[in-house]
């Protein structure tokens, strides 16, 4: 893809995702995450209608009447986009590949953060850290992020989510809103690092998947290529045992994703390539 084509694609994604973030996501994003960036201000006496979760029990016990903690919203939040660029993201059986939807979601989130004057950073990962762009403000910075999402060629096709989360914990000292965007078909070994990262950051896993990853169709003998290892093999999709084994593998990864994010206190949302990620993300924001 030459420079002219890249710029044209960047512009196309900018127009679509900026419209979404301006009219739909920006308010929902702000209301969903503003409470995560709060600093303690003072305590005052409890008033009718106050959130009981804000009661300061130590002060309440001392004065024998309820007091609550008052927080001030931090003016500036930091969003970190962690995007899986491994080989499996280049899979798709509908109109678009998973990586196309991943790019749109990341761009929409970035523009939503820009609307709130927040900083945005980017981590592209495979089984290693492929690219790190430190958090920064501004439209030109967001356009650079989109350009990298479109044209970046990773060195590796494999996936290691644990390694990416470890890098996040090491590189970001200040609390951030983190979106990990992946198909999460990686090895189920990232719970420990997610637990550590979730103690400091507000993390949401956004799982993007294709309908054919859920269930293998019965279409006879098929030569299949593993996008991450490069190995090809002849698979008899007509064999029920093969289809059941494939389905079990998928369900195992899906269960691990849901259970792990839940146990670690992190958010999780899934969207299929041929579904509206707008509807899925809005539903998730409102549920917070």
For residues 59 and 137, state if they share a domain: no
Residue-level pLDDT at 228 = 67
Residue-level pLDDT at 207 = 97
Residue-level pLDDT at 1 = 58
Low-confidence winner among 52-56, 171-175, 241-245 (lowest mean pLDDT): 241-245
Looking at mean pLDDT, say which of 18-32, 220-234, 257-271 comes out highest: 257-271
Percent of the chain exceeding pLDDT 70 equals 87
Of residues 87 and 90, the one with the higher pLDDT is 87
For residues 50 and 125, state if they share a domain: no
**pLDDT tens-digit series, residues 120-135:** 999 999 999 999 999 9
- What is the average per-residue pLDDT within 14-29? 72
pTM of the model: 0.79
Query: Sheet harboring 177-182: ordered strands across?
Result: 129-136, 119-125, 78-84, 177-182, 202-209, 267-272
DSSP string, 145-181: HHHHHHH---S-----HHHHHHHHHHH--S--EEEEE
Domain span at residue 129 reads 3-32+75-287
Provide the domain count of the chain.
2
Residue-level pLDDT at 220 = 75
Q: Which residue(s) pair with 177 in the sheet?
A: 79, 202
For residues 56 and 151, state if they share a domain: no
Helix axes 277-287, 26-33, angle to 10 degrees: 30
Report angle CA 31, 33, 39 to the nearest 5 degrees.
110
- Measured distance CA(3)–CA(5) in Å, rounded: 5
Q: Is the pLDDT of residue 50 over 80?
A: yes
- Measured distance CA(124)–CA(134) in Å, rounded: 12
Of residues 207 and 70, the one with the higher pLDDT is 207
Burial class of residue 3 in the structure, from the number of CB atoms within 10 Å of its CB (0-12 exposed, 13-18 middle, 19+ buried)? exposed
From 22, 49, 73, give the residue that closes a domain: 73
From 73, 95, 122, give the residue that closes a domain: 73
Of residues 76 and 77, the one with the higher pLDDT is 77
Looking at mean pLDDT, say which of 21-35, 167-181, 238-252 comes out highest: 167-181
Pairing of strands 232-236, 177-182: unpaired
Alpha helix positions (H), 47-151:
57-63, 98-115, 139-151
Coarse DSSP helix, strand, coil percentages of the chain, rounded to the nearest 5 percent: 50, 25, 30
Residue-level pLDDT at 257 = 97
Phi and psi (nearest 5°) for 2? -80, 175
For residues 169 and 56, state if they share a domain: no
CA pseudo-torsion sign 162, 214, 157, 109: negative
Residue-level pLDDT at 266 = 96
Q: Do 205 and 184 touch, CB atoms closer than 8 A?
A: yes
**pLDDT tens-digit series, residues 236-288:** 777 888 788 888 888 999 999 999 999 999 999 999 998 888 889 888 888 87
- Residue 165: name the closest of 193, 188, 185 by CA: 193
**pLDDT tens-digit series, residues 176-203:** 999 999 999 888 899 999 999 999 999 9
For residues 43 and 143, state if they share a domain: no
Residue-level pLDDT at 165 = 97
- Measured distance CA(96)–CA(131) in Å, rounded: 24
Q: Do 98 and 195 touch, CB atoms closer than 8 A?
A: no
Phi and psi (nearest 5°) for 251? -65, -35
CATH number at residue 232: 3.40.50.410
- What is the average per-residue pLDDT within 26-46? 70
For residues 145 and 10, state if they share a domain: yes
Residue-level pLDDT at 260 = 97
Residue-level pLDDT at 70 = 76
79 confidence band (pLDDT: 50, 70, 90)? very high
Low-confidence winner among 32-36, 144-148, 162-166 (lowest mean pLDDT): 32-36
For residues 176 and 62, state if they share a domain: no
Residue-level pLDDT at 23 = 64
For residues 59 and 176, state if they share a domain: no
């Amino acid at each position: 893809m030459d420079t002219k084509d890249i710029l044209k694609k960047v512009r196309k994604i900018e127009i679509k995702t900026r419209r979404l973030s301006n009219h739909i996501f920006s308010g929902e994003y702000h209301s969903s995450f503003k409470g995560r960036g709060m600093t303690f201000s003072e305590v005052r006496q409890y008033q009718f209608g106050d959130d009981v979760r804000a009661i300061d029990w130590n002060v309440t016990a001392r004065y024998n009447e309820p007091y609550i903690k008052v927080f001030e919203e931090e003016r500036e939040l930091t969003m970190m986009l962690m995007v899986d660029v491994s080989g499996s993201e280049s899979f798709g059986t509908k109109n678009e590949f998973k990586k196309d939807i991943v790019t749109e979601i990341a761009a929409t989130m970035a523009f939503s953060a820009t609307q709130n004057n927040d900083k945005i950073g980017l981590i592209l990962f495979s089984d290693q850290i492929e690219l790190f762009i430190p958090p920064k403000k501004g439209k030109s910075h967001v356009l650079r992020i989109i350009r990298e999402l479109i044209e970046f060629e990773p060195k590796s096709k494999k996936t290691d989510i644990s390694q990416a989360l470890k890098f996040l914990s090491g590189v970001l000292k200040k609390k951030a809103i983190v979106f990990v965007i992946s198909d999460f078909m990686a090895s189920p070994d990232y719970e420990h690092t997610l637990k550590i990262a979730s103690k400091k950051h507000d993390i949401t896993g956004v799982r993007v998947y294709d309908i054919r990853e859920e269930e293998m169709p019965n279409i006879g003998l098929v030569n299949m290529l593993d996008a991450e290892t490069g190995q090809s093999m002849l698979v008899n999709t007509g064999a029920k045992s093969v289809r059941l084994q494939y389905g079990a593998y998928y369900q195992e990864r899906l269960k691990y994703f849901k259970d792990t994010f839940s146990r670690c206190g992190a958010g999780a949302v899934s969207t299929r390539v041929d579904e509206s990620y707008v509807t899925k993300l809005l539903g998730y924001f409102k549920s917070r």
